[in-house]
Structure 1
Amino acid sequence: MNSSATLLFERDGSIAKLTLNRPDVGNAIDLSLAKGLMKAAIDCDEDDSIGCVVLTGAGRFFCTGGDVGGFVSAGDALPSLLKELTAYLHMAIARLARMQKPLITAINGPAAGAGLSLAVLGDIALSASSAHFTPAYTGIGLSPDGGSTWLLPRLVGLRRAQEIILTNKRLGADDAAELGLVTRAVDDELLADEVRAIVAQLGKSTTAAIGRTRNLLLSSLESSFETQMEDEARAIAELSRTSQTRDRIQAFVSKRNASPSHRESTG
């Protein structure tokens, strides 16, 4: 386990769990937390023994966004603070988005500002029913960060993203799920069980296959149809060269040939 005071990094076999750990301030992001998240994201990206990453928050909140109290304390140095803070935060988000492992966000409570960006970043975003989501930026005279102006239009469409961000609209977990902002909402007490079930399902594939698929999905809205299909062709061919994939294919064929229904249909 490699943890800091503000970001807990725990391992359970091939699963890495990252916990935003400033519960007394709603896991608000200060420089320490942003740096810790960046370091953890790089470690997850580089460690081949990690097969899946889970991101959650400590206490009642998932993440309330930037540490507004710190913004006030910065005074005239706020622009410099924001540039430094977003440098670490954006690197963390980019690494989590581009790593060759799936990311599950276990949204245990309210998410706002950059916390909203982190919440919806997951390939699978599971929200506790009690959670709610708020852009927050325009309420304090700021514009969005954390990739929210890239993520939200792709998840819910431009028109809905405009309304949510510009009017600082608050969404409950069920509404967020209905719009496609999160994968689904589950009862609070079932959130941990749902995460474990998803981790187990993802574990049935290979890290390489998941990683290639993540990359294809991320690029799909910016590629032409023909370019996307060429990327698909190259990815599937590259995967077929790996021993993991060949072993999986052989095991599937062997299992199918051994099944009674297959013997009956071919005999």
Structure 2
Amino acid sequence: MVGIESGENPIIQVRGLHKYFGPIHIIKGVDLDVRPSEVVVIMGPSGEGKSTFLRCLNFLEEPSAGTIAIDGVEIDAEVSTGQRNKRIREIRQKAAMIFQEFNLFQHMTVLDNIIEGAVTVKEVPKDQAITKAEKLLDGAGLLARRDDFPSRLAAGEQQQVAIARSLCMEPKIMLFDDPTSALDPSLVSELVDTMARMANEGMAMIVVTNEPYLARNVADQAIFMDDGVWLEMAPPDRLFTNPEKERTRQFLERISLKDISGGT
């Protein structure tokens, strides 16, 4: 089993995860352990199941087989429908997802976007949610933008608001789907700093990305996913400098060349 060696119990456990789309077997029995404060990056060619894996973790996609446990909440094929729905709701409160498009409500201010989930889903008193949101905005250097609408923000600022919205829900896990796709390359280092700060505060993270700088500077472990399986997993410095598999080496050379040339 591919996993992370550590003395602390995993907050994410995946065993034998499969996902089919009709006859297409997109995820082929992968296992994974992630512990608090750990950051795992998943890289690989398009269409190999990276984003689908993330979406299976919080059941935006229904796994075809396997067991997923998030902070002690476990779901497998044996769980009854009633219990399953209850556990999915629990998992979604524990594991927040940051999408490529950020999915901010355009008719709401920055502040209202951030507190919406905490107030309506977790039923946090509004004044408490506002205090939390203002602290998060201050930490991101965006407190002065609290009353602006998302359309007035740059992409990097919108991403920081999306992250603050998730953090306001006080999750234990963050799932990032290609977080640099909408960012100017100059802003990637800011995202790395944000992720490092969250990890230092105990947040576990899984990040789907083919951005070499992000992978090398934020990950504890990097996975190369190919043809629906973990082909290789190692600390990023080792994976980038001395991959064991030829497929891994070829892929990392391609994305590193794009990074050097400034391509996407």
Q: Given the two structures, how large is their TM-score scaled by the length of structure 2?
A: 0.28
From the two aligned structures, give the one with the greater helix fraction.
Answer: 1
Q: Which has the higher contact order (CA 8 A, sep 6+)?
A: 2
Whose radius of gyration is greater, 1 or 2?
A: 1
Structure richer in strand, relative to its length:
2
